[in-house]
């Protein structure tokens, strides 16, 4: 590793303190303020010394190829040691779990099967099981597989197995509230329709309207074109000034 100049290192160490002293003596007002408080004076000079030490250390370190190589080796050795420790810890934990599972006793039918397999040979695990005769009276579910389609012959067994899913309390409450809301809307709509019908009927009776078209008087031009005679009562045309029957003047 290359060496640095000692003179430059000493100059860097003393530079912050020299700057503080020059500012104090160059500015009398600042020097007076600093001199009145001993804590501020010690703090400023201590900070200058720390900055000088930091500059001295940074100058003394040469970040050449050897420096980077040693830093990489340290970092890799640390990561390798952590990985090795983690791998060994994981293997130890796995062995402990396997030993606990092997020592734990399994109860029931599963435990009997495990004990039988552990006590037997490896070849006995691949041996086919013995045939079991089934009585004719028993109901057996027969499933045939044909091109990916399952056909269940025994429908009674399937019906017994079909169980409706139970609804939760929240689902039932939501359904009840929804049904109540729908019923209220129906009742409101019915009331609205009845009110509209009654209002329409009242308005028709007030205005004298009727649905029967025969009640409306038919306009006729007969009264306009025919004039009766006052003497004999004969109907005459309105254009004739005299009666055609008796000759009386029609006013």
- Residue ranges per structural domain of the chain: 1-61
CA distance 25 to 92: 70
Quick check: 15 and 56 in contact, CB under 8 A? no
Q: Which residues, 6+ apart, have CB-to-CB distance to 136 below 8 Å?
A: none
pLDDT digits (tens, 9 = 90+) for 145-171: 444 444 444 555 555 555 556 777 777
Burial class (CB in 10 A: 0-12, 13-18, 19+), 49: middle
pLDDT digits (tens, 9 = 90+) for 20-48: 889 888 888 888 888 888 888 898 889 99
CA distance 168 to 80: 54
Q: What pLDDT is stored for residue 47 in this prediction?
A: 92
Cα atoms in the Cβ-side hemisphere of radius 13 Å centred on 80: 6
Extract the residue ranges of the chain whose pLDDT is less than 50. 1, 143-153, 209-215, 219-223
List the Cα angle 132/136/139 in 5-degree steps. 95
Q: What pLDDT is stored for residue 222 in this prediction?
A: 46
Looking up tokens 């695990």 gives 125
Distance from CA of residue 192 to its chain's centroid?
A: 40
Quick check: 48 and 24 in contact, CB under 8 A? no
Q: Which residues, 6+ apart, have CB-to-CB distance to 141 below 8 Å?
A: 152, 153, 154, 157, 158
Distance from CA of residue 224 to its chain's centroid?
A: 84
Q: What pLDDT is stored for residue 150 in this prediction?
A: 46
Tell me the chain's radius of gyration from C-alpha atoms: 58
Quick check: 168 and 157 in contact, CB under 8 A? no
CA distance 140 to 129: 20
CA distance 109 to 115: 10
Q: Which residues, 6+ apart, have CB-to-CB distance to 67 below 8 Å?
A: 1, 61
The CA-to-CA distance between both ends of the chain, in Å, stands at 150
The candidate with the shortest Cα–Cα distance to 71, out of 59, 82, 63, is: 63
Q: What pLDDT is stored for residue 49 in this prediction?
A: 92
């Amino acid at each position: 590793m290359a060496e640095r100049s000692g003179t430059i290192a000493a100059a860097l160490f003393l530079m912050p303190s020299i700057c503080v002293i020059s500012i104090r003596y160059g500015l009398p007002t600042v020097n007076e303020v600093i001199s009145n408080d001993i804590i501020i004076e010690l703090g400023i000079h201590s900070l200058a010394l720390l900055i000088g030490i930091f500059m001295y250390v940074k100058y003394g370190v040469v970040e050449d190829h050897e420096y980077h190589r040693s830093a990489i080796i340290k970092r890799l050795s640390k990561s390798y040691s952590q990985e090795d420790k983690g791998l060994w810890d994981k293997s130890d934990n796995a062995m402990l779990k396997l030993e606990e599972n092997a020592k734990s006793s399994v109860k029931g039918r599963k435990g009997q099967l495990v004990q039988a397999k552990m006590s037997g040979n490896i070849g006995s695990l691949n041996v086919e099981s013995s045939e079991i005769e089934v009585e004719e009276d028993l109901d057996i579910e027969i499933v045939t597989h044909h091109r990916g389609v399952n056909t269940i012959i025994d429908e009674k067994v399937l019906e017994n197995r079909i169980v409706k899913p139970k609804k939760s309390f929240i689902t039932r409450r939501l359904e009840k509230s929804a049904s109540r809301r729908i019923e209220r809307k129906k009742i409101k709509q019915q009331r609205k329709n009845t009110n509209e019908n009654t209002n329409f009927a009242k308005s028709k009776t007030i205005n004298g309207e009727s649905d029967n078209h025969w009640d409306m008087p038919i306009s006729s031009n007969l009264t306009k074109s025919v004039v009766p005679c006052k003497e004999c009562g004969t109907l005459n045309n309105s254009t004739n000034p005299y009666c055609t029957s008796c000759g009386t003047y029609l006013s």
